Amino acid sequence: MENGGLRKHLMTGVSYMIPFVTAGGILIALSFLVGGYKGFEAQGSLADYLMQVGGTAFNLMIPILAGYIAFSMADRPGIAPGMIAGALAGKIGAGFLGALIGGLLAGYVTQWVKKIPVPRGLAGLMPVLIVPLLSGAVVGLLMVMAIGQPIKALMDAMTNGLKSLSGINAAVLGVILGLMMAFDMGGPVNKVAYTFGLAMISAGVYQPHAAIMAAGMTPPLGLALATWLAPRKYSKREREAGKAAAVMGISFITEGAIPFAAADPLRVIPSIMAGSAVAGGLSMIFGNTLQAPHGGIFVVPLIGKPWLYLVALAAGTVVTAFLVNALRKDAAEDEVEAA
């Protein structure tokens, strides 16, 4: 399979998964906000109900991811074996990585089973019975007997390693995630970093995704600040785009930086990458945590050490703004019109 096809299948799974992660993660975070750290333990409380609903939505993340990777590869017959593989990955403890591998395996196996010749009288049963049954059995048994435990061991090692990060090691991880978030502003590299953060949330490691969100908010916020600090360097259209970028930035929509990067990539992209690296690195050093997968400024109260998180976000924003303005020349006189 070509890399482009593999990327398409993985991104299909991620796109179907994100609504479950977003709803579940925010509901879980609201449970903590309403009831405190252990408020959900009080049965019958609002915090308990929020935790139940959010946890159910969040737990669907793994089978949905695997199911729709297989769907992208093998059409609807791939959904059942893919979700079986994902559910087993969650049950075994192989988590996000197990779902990726299980979904791909289900897709390949289903493609193979679909090609098995059968009598004409059984052809109608192939997509609804024979293909899901055979591919589900093969994939499920492989996950239980051969694949799941090694993946679980790998996930455990990665999770324990991330939990032990501190100081310079945490900063380096934050810087790398920040660079990835800003590099293509919502493109494949950005999505890899974001998906990694989701995987860490599912594994109970909450620092990386806090850094990822700070780094993703920084590019549009930094460019909005740049247009405000040095309006003569920007055309009227760019200054208007800066206002829109500010709104997208606080909402964690990194794509708000794209109009600036498209017009001046050699100056803008290095500047926003530097700012996002600062924001991500500081967030990791400060030990900020985030259980909600999205939400921008609206979920800051749910973040561990929220004031330090705002410091990290502000630092990255300022670095972006000053770098891009230092690299830019004033816009042409006919472009700098009165707002």
Percent of the chain at pLDDT > 70 equals: 89
Over residues 193-207, mean pLDDT: 82
Q: Between 132 and 339, name the one with better pLDDT.
A: 132
Res 193: pLDDT:
82
Residue 280 pLDDT class (50, 70, 90 cuts): very high
Residue 202 pLDDT class (50, 70, 90 cuts): confident
Q: What is the pLDDT of residues 134-165, one digit of tens each?
A: 999 999 999 998 887 888 787 777 666 666 65
DSSP secondary-structure letter at 231?
Answer: G
pTM of the model: 0.67
Q: Between 162 and 238, name the one with better pLDDT.
A: 238
Res 339: pLDDT:
45
Q: What is the pLDDT of residues 37-57, one digit of tens each?
A: 566 677 888 888 888 888 888
Over residues 210-225, mean pLDDT: 94
Pairwise CA distance, residues 281 & 179, whole Å: 10
Res 38: pLDDT:
63
Q: Is 118 left (phi over 0), alpha (psi -120 to 50) or beta?
A: beta
Res 253: pLDDT:
81
Q: Between 190 and 172, name the one with better pLDDT.
A: 172
Over residues 14-30, mean pLDDT: 75
Res 122: pLDDT:
75
Q: Is 253 left (phi over 0), alpha (psi -120 to 50) or beta?
A: beta
Res 334: pLDDT:
46
Res 215: pLDDT:
94
Q: Is residue 196 within 8 Å of 208, Cβ to Cβ?
A: yes
pLDDT at 21 over 80: no
Q: What is the pLDDT of residues 67-102, one digit of tens each?
A: 999 999 998 889 999 999 999 988 887 777 788 889
Q: Please identify which residue in the block is written with the tokens 């594994």.
A: 203
pLDDT at 4 over 60: no
Res 331: pLDDT:
63
82 closest CA partner among 56, 97, 104, 115: 104
The 3-state DSSP class for residue 292 equals coil
Of the given ranges (12-21, 22-31, 294-303), which has the lowest mean pLDDT?
22-31
Q: Is 261 exposed, middle or buried (0-12, 13-18, 19+ CB in 10 A)?
A: buried
Residue 219 pLDDT class (50, 70, 90 cuts): very high
Written as six digits, the tokens of 294 are 């999205």
Q: Between 63 and 167, name the one with better pLDDT.
A: 63
Percent of the chain at pLDDT > 90 equals: 32
Domain ranges within the chain, ordered by starting residue = 3-163, 167-327
pLDDT at 226 over 90: yes
Q: Between 124 and 211, name the one with better pLDDT.
A: 211
